[in-house]
Amino acid sequence: MNKPADTSFGNATAAVSLEVRNLRKSWGKTEVLSDVSFRIGAGGFLTLLGPSGCGKSTLLRLISGLDETSGGQILIDGRDVSKVSAADRNLGMVFQNYALFPHLTIEENIGYGLKIRKVDKTRRDKTIARVSDLMGLGPLLQRKPSQLSGGQQQRVALARVLVSERPLVLMDEPLSNLDAKLRTEIRSEIRSLNKTLGITVIYVTHDQSEALSMSDEVVLLNAGKIAQWGTPRDLYESPANTFSASFIGTPPTNLLEPADVALPENLGLDGGTALTDYLIGVRPETMCFPADGAAFTLTGRVLSLEYEGNVTLLHLEAASGAKVIVAHGGHDVPAPGAEVTVGWSHEATHFFSKKDGAAIRRKT
């Protein structure tokens, strides 16, 4: 499983870019996607991330051509395919409900698309052998799908799409049936095949760690709208709004009333910004205890402790009653009930408008 990908199999058709412009989708009177626009370059890996029901699968189905758009455009390599049938979009798909042919062996299932496209047998066998080896399916090739576990069947579905040599592959939560160890291994396999074969991948997940670790770019959706589109680093380090700040990161960003915080004199905000206008965002892992002369400090009472191995989560209650979480890396853990002062730097501080949740950028 840990072998580096071999480039000798698969001559993926030259990779393609994907662009979605002002895409809309309504079911009856309910609009489930509104004005969604993003693009990913050829060979890129873009993840659609968001909570359950935000429209990720709907968006993927529109890109695939399985459902019709209610407005907007989908361009593959600059060509508008919005009205082109799914079969003519030249893309591969792995969905949550992988459908394997029950009467075919695993080997035949994986090679089905190649056979249909009349790829010669020697090349087909070589490709199947290589991908099944990478996916740990080698010993299972002669079995039927019913003789495999759910996780193994899902790996077959993935292998099948990876050997299909489509330039654009859509994946909807393809790792959801796998255990944690396999997920991590297959994540890096998918990522390495994406780069080695130059396949453009659009990947759906609600798991932010999967999204951050695999993607070149992430589109974070909230209730059918894009909350933020950027690199994993953009999303983590510069959340565009309170939704993004709260969704990305475990535990989520603390959103604090300025009244709970001892603020430095110069916040770098516009002169007109009043204390009541904004919230302060700070990630638990960027806070320190003791505060040690940090620019921002907060004093609170320790409600409880959660030992996580590498860190201990300090659950604090500020004077106002607000709950705050600090990920503390040191061994000097305070006792429950103690009053403590924690701190953080200017760089760790994010400001958000209370009105609409949007990030307030500081003056440079």
Binding-site member from 13, 17, 32, 90 for ligand ATP (CB under 6 A): 32
At closest approach, how far in Å is the CB of 49 from ligand ATP? 9
Do the beta carbons of residue 350 and residue 282 sit within 8 Å?
yes
**Site of tokens 């892992």:** 285
| Window contacting ligand ATP (CB under 6 A); options: 50-58, 189-197, 209-217, 354-362 | 50-58
Comparison of 53 and 150: residue with beta carbon closer to ligand ATP: 53
What DSSP assignment string belongs to 167-197?
SEEEEESTTTTS-HHHHHHHHHHHHHHHHHH
Q: Does residue 53 belong to the site contacting ligand ATP (CB under 6 A)?
A: yes
Tokens read off for 315: 């659950």
Is 58 an interacting residue with respect to ligand ATP (CB under 6 A)? yes
Q: Of 52-60, 119-127, 162-170, 279-287, which segment contacts ligand ATP by CB under 6 A?
A: 52-60
Q: E-assigned strands of 195-335? A: 200-205, 217-222, 225-230, 254-256, 261-262, 278-282, 296-307, 312-318, 323-328
Task: Count how many residues are written for the chain.
Answer: 364
24 binds ligand ATP (CB under 6 A): no
CB 361, min distance to ligand ATP, A: 29
CB nearer to ligand ATP: pick between 229 and 351: 229
Based on CB atoms, which residue is closest to ligand ATP, 51 or 268?
51
Contact yes or no for 20/30 (Cβ under 8 A): no
Residue 223 touching ligand ATP (CB under 6 A): no
Which DSSP letter does residue 199 get?
A: -
Does 55 contact ligand ATP by CB under 6 A? yes
Among 37, 57, 176, 299, indicate the residue that binds ligand ATP (CB under 6 A). Answer: 57
Min CB(211)–ligand ATP separation in Å: 13
Q: Is 50 in the site for ligand ATP (CB under 6 A)?
A: yes
How far is residue 253's CA from residue 350's CA, in Å, rounded to a whole number?
A: 10
Which of 59, 54, 26, 8 has the alpha carbon at shortest distance from 224? Answer: 54
Binding-residue pattern over the window 166 to 205 for ligand ATP, x denoting contact by CB under 6 A: ----------------------------------------
CA dihedral 284, 287, 289, 291 (to 10 degrees): -150
Whole-angstrom CA distances from 38 to 182, 268, 321 are 31, 31, 41
With beta carbons less than 8 A apart as the criterion, state whether 202 and 39 touch.
no
Check residue 54 for interaction with ligand ATP (CB under 6 A). yes
* 143 counts as binding ligand ATP under rule CB under 6 A: no
Q: Which DSSP category does 37 fall into?
A: E
Measured from the CB of residue 9, what is the shortest distance to ligand ATP in angstroms? 32
C-beta of 116: minimal distance to ligand ATP in Å? 29
Count of residues in contact with ligand ATP, rule CB under 6 A: 11
What Å distances lie between residue 66 and 61, 62, 82, 275, CA to CA? 5, 6, 11, 50
Residue 96 C-beta: closest distance to ligand ATP, Å: 8
Least Cβ distance, residue 47 to ligand ATP (angstroms) = 12
> Can you give the binding site for ligand ATP, defined by CB under 6 A?
27, 32, 50, 52-58, 206
